[in-house]
Structure 1
Amino acid sequence: MNNSVFEPIEHELLAPAKIFVTGMESSHYHWHYDYEILVLLKGRLQVLCGPSPMLMEEGDIFLVNSKMVHGYRGDQENLCLFIQFPSNIFEHISGKGQQLFFYLNSVSKQFPPKGGYEILRRSACKTGLTVYRKDAAAYLAQNAAFYELMAGLAEGVQYDIRRYPRHTDSTAEGQLVAEIGAYIDANCGQQNLTESVSRHFGISEKSLYRYTKSFLGISPKEMIDTARVEKAKGFLRMSRKSISVIGGECGFTNEATFYRVFKKETGITPKEYRRGEGTGPVEKEIQGYLNFDKKEAEKLLHYYAEN
């Protein structure tokens, strides 16, 4: 299965979770069996994870449940803490063949945890700091911090207990949406792409709209615009092609449309982006994860862990 659709997460032998800090430019729409806690340490990040897109700002914390289709778009230069951990970790609470579905989202604030979001953010950042330890007992400290965080989730965050069989169809539809996203990313230069997607996957345009709105909170047209802008960013950074040529190669019908959509997605024009305005150095690698200052990341983790 294409890794842009299903993301297998490998865990180290002695570590209870995969823990890392990174800058995030964008990610394909994808899903995984693991839960994923995200703390935004710096900047802003758009999260596409239905029923509507949301914009995370510094200090926000969000949990992606197992098998949820999601994607990320860096609204500006950012630093993110990710903690990914196996879906069976709460099996002693949920029971075999069932899962906990958590409602942890400091952006919507719909179901605030007991004691507030700050306690969980602090606990997550303490867990994140353990990756900087290099001593022999580092893995013990990581286990201690991680399970303290898990206890905080189980005791303080609202959740439902859901059976696996109930979500068989939902999971299949979610996988389809992720595959649709990967197809759009790979073919975003084509014209009439919505029609092409419908033909390729054998679904009506009405069903296509329902799936993408349900799982990602955006329409197929918005998915296509985002994919085209992401492709254009790469050309603007790494090639000397004219802006009009880049727009055409990325599927935009004319230069005016290219400018309008690009500015709507990024806040700046293609010409400003090429100059590096508001986006960091133009020589950054074209990838989902971006290079970052490790000392700054550690400093931010200390700040949130102690405040």
Structure 2
Amino acid sequence: MHRFRFESIAPAPEDAYVLARVTLPRGDTIQLHTHDFAEIHWVEQGEGEHRVNGMSVPVRASHLLLIRPTDVHGFECGGDQDLVFVVLAFRRKTLTHLRTRYFSDMPSFYGGTARLPKAVELDGEQLRLAGAQADILANAPRTLFHLERFLLNLFFIIHSHPSRQVPAACPNWLRRAYTTIQCPEVLTGGVKAFKQVCGRSAAHVSRACRQWLGATPSQIVTRFRMDHAAKQLAMTDRSILDISMECGFDSLSHFYRLFKQRHGISPNQYRVRNKFTAGS
């Protein structure tokens, strides 16, 4: 199996990234390989199979694939069209820097430790925004500044709609449950409600969440609870006790502890800071 090195594909040693468009003709394959750098694949046309880490996952136009340096993968073109995708390759240390600086509280960032790399299906607006950013990157000097600017904008586009964080190949039942649990009336019920919405055994739900979402059911529910609480603190004058109860907490101290773990400050501090920002 071939292992690619970033230095072997970069046109110049000082280049921070490599951006290229790849066309895979119908019936052709890209053999399994690995590399010492991260990649982002953005499918523009066609459909096929992404063979990755011992599994085969369908891909099609509008899919965005975040390939980690540890992934072993290849492609096969299927359907009636060539498979066309844009590939952005960049050094592992850049990914490590972004994770440490901006996403240290997000275990599932860039796929986390899930078996499969993160895959997102972009909607029309996300495609338009991502396309505009890619055009800028294509014509920019290949510096770290322009790379990080593009990546941060792309991650913002992806994460601006939580339901879109579900991998494209995720089972439909888990995708529906992941979206439904974000509703406040369901979120109050916590992990029990999440598993009921899934309609599968507790063990099956736990395995699927780790495989497809890179987190446990408890971590998923807690994240949405804390984000909902933050919105209520920022946008309403409801009491913190009322907000914590709506999020399904009987213990206010437990709510405070989890909120601070998620947002870095207490609910009181979050509310004060938000009001100061809004009025400044």
TM-score range relative to shorter protein? 0.3 to 0.5
Q: Output the TM-score relative to the length of structure 1.
A: 0.41
Q: Output the TM-score relative to the length of structure 2.
A: 0.45
Structure number with higher strand proportion: 2
Higher normalized contact order (CA 8 Å, seq sep 6+, divided by chain length): 1
